[in-house]
A and B are shown apart, each in its own frame.
Chain A
């Protein structure tokens, strides 16, 4: 059974700081997705990465996928209060997108 670990579990920083959160898998990812979930809402897809070594940027967010496709990081530059939320990584578990497994998440709080 694949297990996804995310670290840190909680992170509280001041506005303007940089931060990195991590996602590690006990087995190779089929494909990796990062989501952000705000309180009382459903997760919102941020990015999908498939190729080992892949780097994707989304404004102030940079996503890296490890060469071995077993780990990933999300770096946020100059964090803003609007970045506050639960960051979840997920794997599709197979090449057909039929069954997704989610990590426990990193809960980020950006203080003004």
Chain B
């Protein structure tokens, strides 16, 4: 059973470009979470999604950031008009839901560098 997959692993964008980060949850998992981690800091929650629904986006910046988890295909975190401050590691986690809702399984992350 494959784990959580994220791509690309590394992404370089110039200021003003768009960044698209993809996350494929573990098979059978219908809950996806996105986190951001700055160097030498802990993980900051951004958004929690279920298939076709955003459940909690309280950690997501109001502008330039959006997320989706369509019925088919991976979850996408989209950052428009990137700025240097967006440089960070972005992690996706998935959960099967139900009684295991507390347990999240993380992907390897996408390291975004904005030049």
Please report A residues at the B interface, Cβ cutoff 8 Å. Answer: 31, 33, 35, 40-45, 48, 50, 88, 90, 92, 96-105
The answer, among B42, B95, B101, B106, for a CB contact under 8 Å with A105, is B42
Q: Given that A41-B109, A42-B91, A43-B91 are contacting pairs, would A100 and B42 also be in contact in the complex, using a CB cutoff of 8 Å?
A: no
Using Cβ atoms and an 8 Å threshold, which residues of chain B touch A104? 41-42
The answer, among B58, B91, B107, for a CB contact under 8 Å with A99, is B58
Please report B residues at the A interface, Cβ cutoff 8 Å. Answer: 4, 31, 33, 35, 41-45, 48, 55-56, 58-59, 91, 93, 95, 101-109
Using Cβ atoms and an 8 Å threshold, which residues of chain B touch A101? 45
Asked whether B101 lies within 8 Å of A99 as measured between CB atoms, the reply is no
Using Cβ atoms and an 8 Å threshold, which residues of chain B touch A96? 101
* Chain B residue nearest in CB terms to A31: B102
* Chain B residue nearest in CB terms to A93: B45
Q: Give the complex CA separation of A48 and B102 in angstroms.
A: 8
In the assembled complex, 23 residue pairs joining A and B whose CB atoms fall closer than 8 Å, in A order, are A31-B102, A33-B102, A41-B109, A42-B109, A43-B91, A45-B103, A45-B104, A45-B106, A90-B43, A92-B101, A97-B31, A98-B48, A98-B55, A99-B48, A99-B56, A99-B58, A100-B33, A100-B45, A101-B45, A102-B45, A104-B41, A104-B42, A105-B42
Asked whether A100 lies within 8 Å of B104 as measured between CB atoms, the reply is yes
